[in-house]
Amino acid sequence: MDEILEILSKDARLRPEEIARLTGKNASNIKKTINQYEKDGTIIQYKAVINQDIARANQSFVRALIEVSITPQKDVGFDHIAERIYSFPEVLSCYLVSGSYDLLIVVEGDNIQTVSNFVAAKLSPMENVRQTTTHFLLKKYKEDGQILKKAPQRKQLNISY
Amino acid sequence: MQIAKKVQLLAPSGIRAFFDLVLNMKDVISLGVGEPDFVTPWHIREKAVFSLEKGFTSYTSNKGMPELRREIANFLSHRYGINYHFEEEMLVTVGVSEGLDLAMRAILNPGDKVLVPEPAYVSYGPVVELAGGKPIYLKTGIENRFKLTAKQIDQACTKGVKALMINYPANPTGASFTRKELLDIARVVKKRNIIVVSDEVYDELTYDFEHTPLVSLPGMKKYVIYLNGFSKSYAMTGFRLGYACGPSDVIAAMTKIHQYTMLCASITGQIAAIEALKNGFQDVADMKREYMRRRRFIVDALNSIGMTCHNPEGAFYVFPSIKSAGVNSLDFAKNLLQKKKVAIVPGVAFGKSTEGYVRMSYASSYENLKEAIRRIAEYLGKPYHSATA
């Protein structure tokens, strides 16, 4: 990965001037490169990684991983039906996977009922969906490379030779 | 109790009090540590944990586990083309610190002189003295980017000089030697027939050129005691693990002392080190890349606030001048600590003649470095803008 992208993927708040100082490159060139990345879709968006368990501590929400088996369609394979599924705002992620089912989707709702309703009323009735298996998520440990538990403070001396 | 004279005479000085002050202070931003801010990579820690679960808690062979020594031999041969036999020419030590001590005790007779650069890592002088030798300090300065020169070594080789200690990349200055500079030094070493104790523990953190072990130069094997370890490259300081390589007679002598005084390095550390050598290559590369960025940042930032700072070639230290502040390095460090809660190490800690400089470690997060620079600028009364300066 390009060094600029590597740095931004760790901290998107760094300004081009700061990236310039870290990499020894020219700030205006970095600005140009970043603009290009934004234009061509390499950089999709900038956002904070939020620990939902803390941020939404007083709010109930559930997440489920749903395995979906599909009958592929002529010419378009899985893509068309995948699009119909991922267009629902309840669907946070959608992956085509190898193995005993086809799509793995991540769905979020206020409670078990809303997720169940989504499966029963929207997902299962689709004509190419053959079978679904819903796994409700019980606890999140790590997401997108980020361990969610706050690491204990390391005990390093303030000073040493 | 009556303490031995030799120990009483070892320099504790005002630095100790400063260190105690720092250690007891809370909420300090520290650029004062001599160790990586990374945690030991998980695959290495996991091996150590697993070995404890399996019950590997015994002594090992005095020289260290044969599997580890084989890995070290392998690594040195592939990385640098240095060939040491894992049985005869290698000893696993409790950090490079033990290696330094063993080397001195193994080679020095009472009164033998040892050339020690100044500034240098704090233990160099004391281990010479404790072994009955006499350190001869060779002053280095900014005019030669804190490097000893071959000429300087040659001129210092008077009667009774038995050995030379070098450390590159260096703690505290970050200075390192190029291959060409080492070739010059090697020529003098051969001419003067002295032993070189070469502490290359920061070898993997060399930024502007390839690190060249002195011993890899033609005909140097019989002059060099090569010291290295796992602390800096793999962020394993707390495991306390290093190794010494050299001619079989000196390694046998060092092993003799080691078996009576240390017995062996901890088995947990040794098992972790095997994993580090086998699978740690990427970790080293990642950490190095990160340090390089921080080095660029801190060198620029310090220069921009009037603390003249040369670009160090390795390790994770900068050694800026504080001459513009008009106080000595100990007072500078003390004031900065008390007024702005930033911890650094006064240059004088690394040698009596090393005034006018301080050591700052950039083994600290970018956020920390930025905040530290902001506070130092404030302390100096200089404007500083993190993005535009």
- Domain at A102, CATH number: 3.30.70.920
Of all residues in chain A, the one with the smallest CA distance to B123 is: A161
The structure's pTM equals 0.90
Among the residues of chain A, which ranges form H helices? 3-10, 16-23, 27-39, 52-55, 79-86, 112-117
CA distance A39 to chain B (A): 24
Residue A98 placed within a domain: yes
State whether A24 and A92 are in the same domain: no
Residue A144 placed within a domain: no
Domain B42-279 has CATH 3.40.640.10: yes
3-state secondary structure of A146: strand
State whether A135 and A69 are in the same domain: yes
Of all residues in chain A, the one with the smallest CA distance to B286 is: A6
Domain-by-domain residue ranges, chain B?
A: 5-40+282-380, 42-279
Out of A18, A21, A159, whose CB is closest to B345? A159
Residue A106 placed within a domain: yes
**Residues A104, A115: contact at Cβ < 8 Å?**
no
Tell me whether the CATH fold assigned to B5-40+282-380 matches the one assigned to B42-279.
no
Inter-chain CB proximity B293 and A23 less than 8 Å: yes
For residues A24 and B242, what is the distance between their CA atoms, to the nearest angstrom? 34
Structural domain of residue A16, as residue ranges? Answer: 3-39
pLDDT digits (tens, 9 = 90+) for B68-91: 999 999 999 999 999 999 999 999
CA distance A147 to chain B (A): 13
Residue A153 placed within a domain: no
CA dihedral (B320, B321, B325, B328) positive or negative: positive
State whether A64 and A121 are in the same domain: yes
State whether A61 and A132 are in the same domain: yes
Strands (E), A44-157: 62-70, 91-96, 103-109, 129-136, 142-143, 146-147
CATH superfamily of B5-40+282-380: Aspartate Aminotransferase, domain 1 (3.90.1150.10)
The secondary structure element, H or E, covering residue B162 is: strand B161-167
As for the ipTM of the complex, it is 0.78
3-state secondary structure of B381: coil
State whether A60 and A23 are in the same domain: no
B71, B86, B99, B82: which is closest to B255 by C-alpha? Answer: B99
For residues B107 and B131, what is the distance between their CA atoms, to the nearest angstrom? 9
Chain A residues lying within 8 Å of B23, measured CB to CB:
157-159
State whether A7 and A72 are in the same domain: no
State whether A99 and A130 are in the same domain: yes
All residues at 6 or more sequence positions from B78 whose CB lies less than 8 Å from its CB, including other chains: none
For residues B361 and B34, what is the distance between their CA atoms, to the nearest angstrom? 7
CA distance A22 to chain B (A): 4
**Residues B90, B102: contact at Cβ < 8 Å?**
no
From first to last of the 161 residues of chain A, give the pLDDT tens digit. Answer: 899 999 999 999 999 999 999 999 999 999 999 999 999 999 999 999 888 888 888 888 899 999 999 998 888 889 999 999 999 999 999 999 999 999 999 999 999 999 999 999 999 999 899 999 999 999 999 988 888 888 777 778 888 88
Residue-level pLDDT at B386:
59
Torsion of Cα atoms, B278 then B280 then B284 then B286, to 10°: 140
State whether A125 and A76 are in the same domain: yes
Domain total in chain A: 2
Listing DSSP states for B294-341 in one string gives HHHHHHHHHHHTT-------BTTEE--B-GGGTS-HHHHHHHHHHHH-
**Residues B144, B175: contact at Cβ < 8 Å?**
no
